[in-house]
Amino acid sequence: MHNIIEIVNGIPRHPLYRFHQPVNFTAAEGECLAIVGNNASGKSMLVDIITGKHPLLINPVKYDFSPSKAKMVCDNLKHITFHDAYGTDDGTYYYQQRWNQHDIDAYPTVGDLLLQTEQIAQKSLEDELALTREEKIKVNDQRASIKEKIFKLFHIEQLINKKIVMLSSGELRKFQLTRTMIYNPRVLIMDNPFIGLDVNARKQLHDLLLLLVKQTKLLLIIVLSKIDDMPDFITHVVEVKDRVVMPKITVQQWNSHNHFPPQRVLTEDKMQRIISMPYAEDFNLKHDMAESDVISFNNVTIRYGDRTILDKLSFTVHNGEHWALSGENGSGKSTLLSIVCADNPQAYANSITLFGFKRGTGESIWDIKRFIGYISPEMHRAYLRDLPAIEIVASGLRDSVGLYHKPKQGQLEACRFWMDIFGIGHHADSSFLKISAGEQRLVLLARAFVKDPALLILDEPLHGLDLFNRRLVKDIIETFCKRKNKTLIMVTHYEEELPSVIDHHIRLKKINA
């Protein structure tokens, strides 16, 4: 058994990416590794060293991809990043793009991109002079076999004609894995692979990865913030603590220690500060919030081309209710929320009332948005901006992606208040792009809460958070909902992530499945 990847006393060239101790890391044939650690501990930095994104001063990373005949690292090692769950940043994406038919039509389908990937992989194979004709045939057969298994397990045929921009975060995860595995890599690194997937899809992914590990030479490395997602086929664990890479241990050694989420982490002082903080200026409106339905859908139907996403959906959310919204990947959860948040133009073609405003009767989207605090995977993707974190939070005051109005002093104090509540006050002046994905999620959560919204919409809010921060966010949600006239809609594929205040549940069924 040989080491496929080996790092000995590695020190990154760039000082911003250096660990507190030299990096030592090995991944050997026959192993399945999990890299674990809290948010901002250095997990992504370690992966960037492994993949060569951050070169080392001395003792460069050693690779031995045998029996693979491909010579290039990029042909042997593939990395599915955290942001791949939300799509790819092609420089043209904007937040409401997924809901606008004109822009949807301009995007390629899943089938188009998978075919393109197959063509690139085939050309790479043909250009590889080290392979004999028989070896190329064997590689092609392996790729075809893997593709067939993935298509069957993930029901990719159902997505083939779907525009890439229309995929849910869970469907995007399936697509990204399918596209990556077409290359039949020697090493696959996946960041938090199970987030955004429904229960069935998580089991499908688990079974697929297990199949790949057993039937191929694939070395699998999984990066986990949610450590209770650790698959049972993991053999070794590498923990990263405060920019120190700990020695590799067996999964049995790892499991011998307790790794349970704390019961409560929000301090009593912060709980009281949330409950007793002054209400927003527009709390008492001309129409009585306490007596109006917050949301009313009457036979709402949403279609894109020949695809029906929601079909004659009717339901009402009353003031002060706390709802869980669930359903398998692609069932229309994000579409429903895009209507509530006034981001979907098709709302005007349906009978919808929000906060007493009937859509299409003269209200502006800002009349709706000023009552709503919102976070979603699409929003995280849209916020790939090099701005100070406090400006990201402040953008929630005016519901913009980016800050176009200078906040008043009182508004900046509200931003600092919520950043402190979420434990990220020290990142007020940090570049949003330079903090970890988990810290970015906390910044966006602070943005959702900053204007003390009447309606809080949280679409997969705990994506990428470690055990401590997941418990912290649950505590904050539960405390916020103790305030007067606060309504909640929360989406998650993990029942244990739902706060204790949930008192209503709606489950969507996938159409055209």
Domain ranges of the chain: 3-255, 268-285+320-343+359-508
Q: In whole angstroms, give the CA distance from residue 125 to residue 325.
A: 45
Query: CATH number of the domain at 268-285+320-343+359-508, please?
Result: 3.40.50.300
Q: Give the global pTM.
A: 0.87
Residues 429-455: tens digit of each pLDDT:
999 999 998 999 999 999 999 999 999
User: What pLDDT is recorded for position 31?
Assistant: 96
Q: What's residue 286's pLDDT?
A: 42
CATH topology match: 3-255 vs 268-285+320-343+359-508: yes
pLDDT tops 70 at residue 98 = no
Q: In CATH terms, is domain 3-255 a member of 3.40.50.300?
A: yes
Indicate if the alpha-carbon torsion angle 303, 308, 309, 312 is positive or negative. Answer: positive
Number of H helices, E strands in the chain: 16, 19
Please tell me which residue, 473 or 167, carries the higher pLDDT value: 473
Q: Cis omega before residue 67 (within 30°)?
A: yes
**For residue range 14-67, what is the model confidence (pLDDT) as tens digits?**
888 889 999 999 999 999 999 999 999 999 999 999 999 999 998 999 999 998
Query: What pLDDT does 283 receive?
Result: 52
Output the CA torsion 174→212→55→27 (10° steps): 140
Q: CB count, 10 Å around CB of 247?
A: 9
With contact defined as beta carbons under 8 Å apart, do 325 and 491 qualify?
Answer: yes
Q: How confident is the model at residue 148 (pLDDT cuts 50, 70, 90)?
A: confident
**pLDDT score recorded for residue 162:** 87
pLDDT the model gives residue 284: 46
Going from the C-alpha of 377 to that of each of 87, 88, 93, 440, the distances in angstroms are: 10, 12, 13, 12
pLDDT digit string, tens, across residues 387-414: 899 999 999 998 766 555 677 888 899 9
- DSSP category for residue 14: S
Q: In this structure, what token pair is assigned to residue 280?
A: 């927003």
